[in-house]
């Protein structure tokens, strides 16, 4: 489990367990959920539509054997059912705002009954933007309900009539692979539900989503030119797991993620000019677009690398990068190339 989330989760559990620190514990829980939800936001806002129905670990054991779209649906359907039917005893977000039609989901259940190709077929039908809006609404409504909880609520238990009520919603499939959920939830008190599904369940599925998208990036980069338009090496990039290269639809470099159209300005500019990369551009020395923006502390490192490619070619550049990583211990090239591109070029040429 991710160390940061695992620590936050442990801290939150310890804080909510005592009356004196319960409020701080709820605060920590909301903080954890915010941090986890940011991952979903990043994934939804940067990955292409087709990524959400792909299953790169089909047949594997574990949460990563699903799709990205299924994972989001499953996390938030479970949360919506549990928080609204069991804790608040009001209306689920799915039905109160007619999200099912917007998402175009053929089911209202948690999806536990689906497996293999059925998950892929289901995922292909979903409108991912609407699904994201639903997920955000569920998270916000749960956060409001969690904020209103008192310490004394934690020991609240659920009786058989709650199980009956849940069955009557038809939100949990009667299939063997899903039906157990009702007894599982009803066997917990509110404190147990905070763990599953409001915190640990998120961590497990969002970590699985990270594995899925890392794998999809790796697959996207297969056979693609490993030199980025701006002059970085994708093969040596510290974002290599997260980003599938600016030469594919899986580009999630920092400037792509902050651009309104999700595209890196250097990649767009090169494509418009019909050139292979910024290293072929006569404006390289003075350009301030994207990675070369003066506010970017990696601007001169990128420029120095593009200058190296222009002088020595891509093949020599990749070999030099291997040597650079043997010689120095760094993750971002600006750590060793500094803020002066001529000086950076000198470091590269001496490696
Ligand atoms: S951030 Fe840039 S260099 Fe790194 S993998 Fe993505 S496109 Fe390649
Ligand atoms: S103008 Fe800047 S971003 Fe565009 S190709 Fe030239 S160096 Fe690259």
227 within domain boundaries: no
Given pLDDT bands bounded at 50, 70 and 90, which one contains residue 173?
very high
229 within domain boundaries: no
pLDDT value at 304 more than 90 = yes
Give the atom of ligand 1 at the shortest distance from the alpha carbon of 252: 6
What's the token pair of residue 20?
């004196």
* Span of 48-57, 187-196, 244-253, 258-267 with lowest mean pLDDT: 258-267
266 alpha carbon, closest ligand: 2
pLDDT value at 319 more than 90 = yes
How high is the mean pLDDT of the chain? 95
Q: 163, 186, 221 — which closes off a domain?
A: 221
Per-residue pLDDT, 129: 97
Decide: 230 in ligand 2 pocket, CB within 6 A. Answer: no
From CA 47, how far away is CA 274, in angstroms rounded? 24
Per-residue pLDDT, 239: 86
pLDDT, average across residues 121-137: 98
Q: Are residues 293 and 167 in the same domain?
A: no
pLDDT, average across residues 107-111: 98
Decide: 232 in ligand 1 pocket, CB within 6 A. Answer: yes
Q: 192, 221, 250 — which closes off a domain?
A: 221
In the chain, the number of structural domains is 2
Q: Are residues 208 and 146 in the same domain?
A: yes
Decide: 281 in ligand 2 pocket, CB within 6 A. Answer: yes
Say what percent of the chain tops pLDDT 90. Answer: 88
Question: Hey, what long-range contacts does 175-182 have (CB within 8 A, 24 or more apart)?
Answer: 175/112, 175/113, 177/112, 177/113, 177/115, 178/109, 178/110, 178/112, 178/113, 181/78, 181/110, 181/112
pLDDT, average across residues 232-247: 90
pLDDT value at 107 more than 80 = yes
279 alpha carbon, closest ligand: 2
Question: What is the Cα 53 distance to its own chain's centre?
Answer: 15
pLDDT value at 260 more than 80 = no
Q: 174, 194, 221 — which closes off a domain?
A: 221
pLDDT value at 2 more than 90 = no
Q: Are residues 197 and 338 in the same domain?
A: no
Q: Are residues 333 and 279 in the same domain?
A: yes
Decide: 76 in ligand 1 pocket, CB within 6 A. Answer: no
Q: Are residues 51 and 156 in the same domain?
A: yes
Decide: 287 in ligand 2 pocket, CB within 6 A. Answer: yes
Q: Are residues 262 and 140 in the same domain?
A: no
pLDDT, average across residues 93-102: 95
- Tell me: the pLDDT tens digits for 36-89? 999 999 899 889 999 999 999 999 999 999 999 999 999 999 999 999 999 999
Closest by CA position to 112, among listed 143, 158, 145, 81: 81
> Best of 219, 242, 246, 317 to mutate for ligand 1, by most ligand atoms within 8 A of CB?
246
Per-residue pLDDT, 257: 82
Domain containing residue 299: 234-349
246 within domain boundaries: yes
Given pLDDT bands bounded at 50, 70 and 90, which one contains residue 127?
very high
Q: Are residues 254 and 175 in the same domain?
A: no
Q: What is the pTM of this model?
A: 0.89
Say what percent of the chain tops pLDDT 70. Answer: 100
Tell me the CA–centroid distance for residue 226 and ligand 1, in Å. Answer: 9
Closest by CA position to 194, among listed 70, 2, 15: 15
Q: Are residues 287 and 152 in the same domain?
A: no
226 within domain boundaries: no
């Amino acid at each position: 489990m991710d160390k940061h989330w695992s620590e936050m989760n442990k801290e939150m559990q310890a804080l909510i367990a005592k009356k004196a620190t319960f409020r701080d514990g709820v605060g920590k829980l909301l903080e954890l959920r915010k941090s986890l939800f940011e991952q979903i936001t990043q994934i939804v806002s940067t990955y292409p539509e087709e990524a959400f129905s792909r299953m790169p670990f089909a047949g594997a054991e574990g949460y990563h054997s699903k799709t990205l779209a299924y994972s989001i649906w499953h996390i938030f359907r479970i949360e919506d059912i549990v928080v609204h039917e069991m804790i608040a005893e009001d209306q689920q977000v799915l039905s109160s705002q007619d999200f099912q039609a917007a998402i175009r989901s053929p089911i209202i259940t948690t999806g536990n009954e689906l497996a293999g190709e059925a998950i892929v077929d289901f995922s292909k039908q979903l409108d991912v933007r609407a699904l994201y809006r639903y997920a955000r609404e569920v998270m916000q409504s749960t956060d409001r309900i969690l904020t209103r909880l008192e310490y004394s609520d934690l020991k609240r238990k659920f009786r058989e009539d709650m199980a009956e009520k849940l069955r009557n919603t038809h939100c949990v499939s009667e299939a063997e692979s899903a039906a157990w959920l009702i007894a599982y939830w009803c066997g917990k008190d509110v404190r147990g539900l905070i763990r599953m599904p409001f915190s640990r369940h998120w961590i497990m599925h969002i970590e699985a989503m990270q594995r899925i998208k890392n794998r999809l990036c790796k697959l996207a980069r297969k056979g693609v030119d490993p030199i980025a338009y701006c002059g970085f090496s994708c093969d040596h990039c510290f974002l290599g797991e997260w980003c599938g290269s600016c030469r594919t639809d899986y580009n999630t470099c920092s400037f792509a993620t902050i651009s309104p159209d999700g595209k890196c300005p250097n990649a767009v500019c090169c494509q418009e000019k019909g050139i292979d990369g910024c290293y072929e551009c006569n404006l390289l020395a003075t350009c301030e677009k994207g990675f070369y923006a003066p506010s970017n502390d990696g601007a001169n490192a990128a420029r120095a690398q593009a200058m190296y490619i222009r002088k020595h070619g891509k093949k020599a550049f990749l070999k030099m990068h291997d040597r650079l990583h043997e010689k120095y211990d760094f993750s971002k090239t600006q750590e060793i190339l500094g803020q002066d591109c001529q000086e950076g070029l000198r470091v590269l040429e001496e490696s």
